[in-house]
Every structure is written in C-alpha cells, then in structure tokens.
Structure 1
Amino acid sequence: MSDTDVILSAKGMTKQFAGFMAVKDVNLDVKRGSIHAMIGPNGAGKTTCFNLLTKFLQPTAGSISFNGKDITTMAASDIARLGMVRSFQISAVFPKLTVLENVRVALQRRRGGNFDFWRSQRVLNQFDEEAMRRVEEVGLTDFAGELAGELSYGRKRALEFATTLALEPELLLLDEPMAGMAQEDIERISALIKRISANRTILMVEHNLSVVADLSDKITVLARGQVLAEGDYETVSNDPRVIEAYIGVGHG
C-alpha cells in the first residue's frame, strides 16, 4: 500500500498510565475510501487507541499521521478542521429542535463556529437546502420536522450521523455506533454506514465481531493493548488467537 493510499497511520503508538501499559506498540494503516473496524473484547485497549488517534489523549510513544501530516501533538479541535471528525464531537442532539434544525446548527458550526441564534429566520433558512440533503442522506426525510427528542434510538443515531456529515469529514471515526441497539436498528445503521462511506473513509470501534462482518473492508483485532490480528472478516474470525481472545467474554 503506497503512502497516498493511507489516510490515517499510527506507528509504534503506545500509551502508559501510571505504570499500566494500556496500548503497546500499535501499528495501524487505514486505507483511503475503506471501512476499517477496530475490534476486541472488553479491556482490549480499543477506546484508548481511539482516543489516541482522535487526539483526546496524547501517546507516550509513537507517531500518528493524517493525509501524510504528522498530527501526533495536535489538539482534537485542530484535526477536526483538517477533515478528521469523531462522531461524538458534534453528535449531541438538541431534543427540543427538529431533525432539520439540528442539522442546520451543525452547518452553522462548520461555516464559522458561530451559532447565530440571534440572526433572522431568513438568514438561517439559507442552510435549509443543504441541511435537507444531509437529512435525506441518512434516510430521515420523513422525520425532518419531528422533534429530535421524540425519535427512536436508532433514528437518533442516524441524526447524529447527519450532524457529523454536515462538517464534511474526509475521515469519519465512529465509536461503537451500534452500542445498545436492537437487531433491527443494527441492520439499519449498518446499511447507513455502508451508504455514507461511498466517498469517505470510515474507522469504527466496535465490540461485536459479527456486527462488522459484512461491513468492513479490513478489521484490526486488539487484545491487551496490542494488535492481535488483522485482515478481512474471514481471516480474523478464523484466527485461533482471535477465537481464544473472545472465549469466555462473548461476542456481544
């Protein structure tokens, strides 16, 4: 894989907390235009890795680059401006606003960091056309006028994707997007992730191996803070080390 094919790369990424090695010497290459899943049982170091990659934590050792630019010491807000956005950064849904209004607020944020609540309705309405496109993209057209607080859990997650997409990320990082969902919602959100990946790269952390089976181009399996295995679903699901790591902790 050439350097131009790789959008996000970590080399020797390590994080130590007061003597505890949470992440040790992790190497990761996320291919541009792919859906890449990072999975592992509880305590595998997934969340720490994700926080390191998205700059909510600083690594003890190693380097991280995005589009060939070293971001190891950059702040989370700065990498968001580069086009690398973590879902929860802007996924707080305003329950008393409609679906369309929530997306409109995200668009205002992208265009200047000023919510402009005191602006006239006419000025705010200029965002409606693009906001509606984002709403359509996540399959919420029929719910555009509904209050966000009244949506089902799965549709709230879809709305969070819409507000994330309003920032036009080149790389979208999703932290357990299917957590707490019923099977019907998992299938809907999986299909949505597949759809929105058409012209974007997605890196997702997920606990459940079966959830990413049909979704991911590549899977990195973590255990005890280290990369245990990597490859497509068939490769990692048949790896004896992966099977052993999941025995006794379940797949859910």
Structure 2
Amino acid sequence: MNNAVADTVLETSGLTKRFSGFTAVDNVSLKVKTGSIHALIGPNGAGKTTCFNLLTKFMQPSAGKIIYRGDDITYLKPADVARRGLVRSFQISAVFGHMTALENVRIALQRERGASFDFWRSDRNLQRFDDRACALLEDVGLGAFIHTKAAELSYGRKRALEIATTLALDPPLLLLDEPTAGMTEQDVERIVDLIKRLRQGRTILMVEHNLSVVAGLSDRITVLMRGRVLAEGDYETVSRDPAVITAYLGQDHA
C-alpha cells in the first residue's frame, strides 16, 4: 500500500444514486483521511443517510466509485464490506431488546469464530467472550448495566450499547449515523466523550445534526445540499461560507 493510499481510508468519486425521477446523491466525491473524524452535515433531505447506505452497500450506486483502503468496493455486498472493517451504526438503535447488554456485545464478538453465531448455545460456550464484552461496555459507560436487558435501557444508553457492539468488530473505519439524535444533554456529553476516546487508532465518518458536536469533534466537514457537495473544510471554514449559512447554518441559528 503506497503512502497516498495509506493516508486516505475511504474515497468516492462521482457517487450518485437515482430513484425514479429523483437524484438523492448527485456526483459526490469524498476523501476521508486515515485517523480523522469527518462529518457529513446538511439539512433534512440533503442525502446524508443515502450516502451512508451507498458506502456500506445497503444500496447500490447508480454511478460512481467507492475505494476503501485502496480497493474498489463499489459492487460488494454489505457483509463483504463489513468483513473488511467498514462498519456502521444506524439512526434507529439496532440491538436485541430481549438480551442483556453483555449478551448483545458477546454476539458481536463471535465474529472471530467466522460465520458461526451461537444464539442458542449455553452460556458456558460463550463465556470466553465475557471479559472483552465487559471491557467494551465499560468503555462506553455501561459497566453498571452489563446484566440489564437492552429494552430496559434509556435511549442514550441503547445508542452507547450499539456503539459497543460495533466496536466489537474492531473496525478501522467507523460510520456513525446521527450518534446523538434524540439524546438528552447529559447523554450527548457522554457520547461525545466516547467518540473522542474511540478515535484512537481508527477513523470515524459521521452524520450529525448537532452543530456543537460537529464543531467540537470534527477535523473535516462535508456539507451536502440536495444530494450535492456544497462546501468542505474545517468547521471555521464551512461555518463562514455564505452558501452554507443560507442553506444550513442559517436555518439552525435563525
């Protein structure tokens, strides 16, 4: 892997997604630097989540190319992309409500077994994952909720649990879709602190509406508007861009 490739973990060129009569993502080119926190922002309907769906292959692009760690992944399946270490969270928390926090993380840790996921086997067969699962739960602030069923956790803690299960896959690139959406101020602070810790040794690409979160975390920001890239740069640069102020920032600060 040459230095240019090593410096860029994810890159798109001309990424486009068309539905009948509507273009949700329009010729988007991104370059996510290794070790950075890169944010996608924009008003509702800007194409941010569709872009995430394209990157993680939940949707196939109509045009364009996606390069991940030097390899073309444009037409790979979602599972193949995840195995390569490009892993995402979702806007809606995706955990098993009937299982405890420990059990949720333990299932994710079974990835090291290959394709076998032992939902039905006795705890004895899975206990070797417990130490690592407990450590991950401690990392996301859920050490006191190890044996609590996911359905009984608050919304913010469910999101933290989802991040813990995502981290169990040890991804070099973590895609976070609205990590603080719907959270209380206390939960937002907890997740922001968590993301700051998570950046050690990995790259984070996130969609986020909370501009104070974006300002405090992001090294680089891409602003989308109607599926197109409107502006890109650090927070100071994009926040002073007249087009961004009109299209997005002005709406939030009016």
Q: Same fold (TM over 0.5)?
A: yes
TM-score normalised by the shorter chain: which range applies? over 0.9
1:147 is matched with which residue: 140, 146, 149?
A: 149
Partners of 2:123 and 2:167 in 1: CA distance: 23
Partners of 2:170 and 2:91 in 1: CA distance: 13
**8 A Cα contact 1:177 1:206, kept in partner:** yes
Match of 2:61, SS state, is coil
Partners of 1:18 and 1:146 in 2: CA distance: 45
Structure 1 length as normaliser, TM-score? 0.93
Other-structure match for 2:138? 136
Other-structure match for 2:190? 188
1:248 is displaced (CA, Å) by 6.6
Other-structure match for 1:43? 45
Question: What's the C-alpha RMSD, in Å, of the aligned pairs?
Answer: 2.1
**8 A Cα contact 1:221 1:242, kept in partner:** yes
Partners of 1:198 and 1:236 in 2: CA distance: 25
**What pairs up with 1:5-154 in 2 under 5 angstroms?**
5-88=7-90, 92-154=94-156
Match of 2:141, SS state, is coil
Partners of 1:68 and 1:95 in 2: CA distance: 37
Partners of 1:68 and 1:205 in 2: CA distance: 23
Partners of 2:230 and 2:46 in 1: CA distance: 10
**8 A Cα contact 1:91 1:164, kept in partner:** no
Distance 1:208 1:120, change over 3 A: closer
1:247 is displaced (CA, Å) by 6.1
Match of 1:128, SS state, is helix
Partners of 1:90 and 1:123 in 2: CA distance: 31
Structure 2 length as normaliser, TM-score? 0.92
Partners of 1:91 and 1:164 in 2: CA distance: 12
Q: Which runs of 5+ in 1 are unaligned?
A: none
1:89 is displaced (CA, Å) by 11
Match of 1:157, SS state, is helix
Aligned residues: 252
Match of 2:252, SS state, is coil
Partners of 1:113 and 1:80 in 2: CA distance: 13
Match of 2:246, SS state, is helix
Match of 1:108, SS state, is helix
Question: What is the aligned-residue identity percentage?
Answer: 66
Distance 1:89 1:187, change over 3 A: closer
